[in-house]
Amino acid sequence: MPGTDPQRNLAEQLALHARQRPSKPALVHGKRVLDYRALDLAVRQRAARLLDLGVQPGQIVGVALRDSIEHVLMLWAVARAGATILPMDCRWTESEQQNLTRHFEPAAVMVEPGATIVGARCIEVGASWETAVADTDPDRLFADGDRGLTLSLSSGTTGRPKGPMATHHKFCNRFWTHWVDLGFGSRETYLNATPLYFGGGRAFTLSTLYVGGTVVLFPPPYAPAELAEEVARTGATVLFLVPTLLRRLLASDPAPLAPMRRLKTLISSGSALTGWERRRIRQDLCPSFIEYYSSTEGGGVSVLSADDQLHHGESVGRPVFGVEVQVVDDGHRPLPAGQVGRIRYRGPAVADGFYRDPEASQDSFRDGWFYPGDLGDFDEEGFLYLKGRAKDMIIRGGVNIYPQEIETTLLNHASVADAAVVAWPSREFDEEVAAFVVLREPVDSSELIAACRRRLAPYKVPRQVFVLDELPRNAGGKVLKPDLVKRLVPL
């Protein structure tokens, strides 16, 4: 697979852009614009300041900043200094932040003015920081080599954090997927409308700047019409949204969203959409819509293009460039098309394991393969279909039930805006099926159960459907199913 020199620091590319496209806009946030000459200088100054403050190459530096140009500059500066980025959400509670810093032990954490994390060395990014940076000599020899670039969290902030270490070389290979399969490139303008803490938005921002494109920052919260207005104002060509945000757009007045149709690429990732939702997105929002299945640990897995959605609307597509994907049984043997098993994949972008966690690494990494914890199957044409998370699989009376099939059935009902299905502890069957839904219009739960009976085998029909105002989700938009299970009284 093509890639950069594995001994090269990715931030060196910014210096090349500063020489070859100095006046091209690199970062845009509202009225503020940074061209590539200014971007490279700002990154080198901040990297030099980190070194002056005692940060050493190979150490970990937390970045707990608001979504801003300064946040992006610090991501590149940590990399330029030869340190490893530890993404942190500045909206977390102090206990959540402490849980992370205790495990990863960063040398420093970049924080907003006034923010503190007990037990961690915090460097405030405010007026005094900016003054010191402006006085820092950027011309020095920075560390090179294929070091760790980022530790991206693959689980929540509670419990034992899991962070796969991705090196500069592995991340560059992830970038190739963005350019080959997702429509990114040096001539594109990527509008980042998700938090920079979130892996997708951060990776797409880095890959766009690495290749010489333009990144527009438009962090949430925002109204759907405001997002469309920013697309029009900046001439954005690529946009990434998680399914939760796309569903909000679908529920909005379509007239103000007209600028979305001019996007070259609209990407969804984070969790699977239904075929019905994909059709509506293509028809009502953007005809150039694609779905991207990926993971924090290994980057891209598969992509479903707009054309392929016409005939394989419930699939997550075919494997991305340079990645081998298999569906295997419990003995790690590949299964034929049509049989459900554990998904695994390998390629030059996949991390080697979790940092400081050999036990978790042993469960997820095996013989060069990464197991993301998803269940799925292939059809005869090589399209991959997700059946849900292995840990979420419901076993009712010894029969395997895949929640995603039931969730899709519920989401295909016109009254249902969101749905999640979990295992309900039962003395009689070990587990029953419980469904939680968010409604876009009133409907009796008995009608939803009847709709499931018409499309599903009797043992897959939910025992009960619970209506919520919203589903609990993490920062990446994924439903927190353990929180739903806690609401259930064992049968």
Alpha-carbon span 322 to 178, nearest angstrom? 12
Percent of the chain with pLDDT over 70: 96
Instruction: Establish if 246 belongs to a structural domain.
Output: yes
Flag whether 490 is in a domain. no
* pLDDT at 1 (0 to 100): 44
Long-range contacts of 13-20, Cβ-Cβ distance < 8 Å, separation of 24 or more: 13/210, 14/39, 14/40, 14/43, 14/76, 14/209, 15/40, 15/44, 17/209, 17/212
The pLDDT of 271-296, averaged and rounded, is 88
pLDDT in tens, 222-275: 999 999 999 999 999 999 998 878 988 998 999 999 999 999 999 998 777 878
Same domain, 38 and 175: yes
Q: Do 154 and 61 reside in the same domain of the chain?
A: yes
Please, which pLDDT band fits residue 107 given cuts at 50, 70 and 90? very high
Instruction: Name the more confident of 360 and 281.
Output: 281
SS3 154: coil
Q: For the chain, what is the mean pLDDT?
A: 89
Confidence at residue 476, expressed as pLDDT on a 0 to 100 scale:
61
Strand partners, 103: none
Q: HSE of 432 in the Cβ direction (CA atoms, 13 Å)?
A: 16
User: CA-CA distance, 354 to 157, in Å (whole number)?
Assistant: 15
Q: What does the pLDDT read at residue 158?
A: 44
Concatenated DSSP letters for 18-75? HHHSTTSEEEEETTEEEEHHHHHHHHHHHHHHHHHTT--TT-EEEEE--SSHHHHHHH
Secondary structure of residue 294 in the 3-state scheme = strand
Domain of 109: which CATH number? 3.40.50.980
432 domain residue, yes or no: yes
- Give the confidence band of 156 by pLDDT, cuts at 50, 70, 90: very low
Cis peptide, bond prior to residue 164, ω within 30 of zero: no
Whether residue 212 lies inside any domain: the answer is no
Same domain, 477 and 400: yes
CATH number for 479: 3.30.300.30
- For strands 384-389 and 374-378, give the pairing: antiparallel
Does residue 301 belong to any structural domain of this protein? yes
Cα–Cα distance for residue pair 22/19, rounded to 1 Å: 6
We report the CATH number of the domain holding residue 322 as 3.40.50.12780
Boundaries of domain holding 20: 7-207
Q: What pLDDT, on a 0 to 100 scale, did the predictor assign at position 388?
A: 76
Given a cut of 60, whether residue 4 has pLDDT beyond it is no
How many domains is the chain partitioned into structurally?
Answer: 3
Tell me: do 162 and 290 sit in the same domain. Answer: no
Q: Provide the whole-model pTM.
A: 0.83
pLDDT confidence bin for 7, thresholds 50/70/90: low
Last residue of a domain, one of 350, 368, 392: 392
Same-domain pairing of 28 and 140: yes
Residue 36 CA to residue 34 CA, distance in Å, equals 7
The answer on 258 and 118 residing in a single domain is: no
Among 359, 392, 425, which residue terminates a domain? 392
304: Cα separation from own chain's centroid? 16
**385, 397: one domain:** no
| Residues 55, 133 within the same domain | yes
Do 401 and 447 have their domain in common?
Answer: yes
Mean pLDDT of 354-366: 84
Domain boundary among the residues 366, 392, 418 is at 392
Same domain, 185 and 45: yes
Tokens standing for residue 111: 């924080």
Backbone angles phi, psi at 5, to 5 degrees: -55, 125
Instruction: Give the whole-number percent of the chain exceeding pLDDT 90.
Output: 53
Confirm whether 491 is domain-assigned. Answer: no
Q: Does residue 255 share a domain with residue 401?
A: no
Instruction: Give tens-digit pLDDT for 179-232.
Output: 999 999 999 999 999 989 888 899 999 999 999 999 999 998 899 999 999 999
For residue 459, give Cα distances in angstroms to 43, 207, 338, 406, 436. 58, 46, 21, 11, 17
CA neighbor of 298 nearest in space, from 315, 316, 267, 323: 323
49 and 88 both lie in a single domain = yes
Question: Using CA of residue 252, residue 255, residue 257, residue 260, what is the dihedral sign?
Answer: positive
Residue 324 resides in a domain: yes
> Within 13 Å and on the Cβ side, how many CA atoms surround 153?
26
Q: What pLDDT was estimated at residue 98?
A: 85
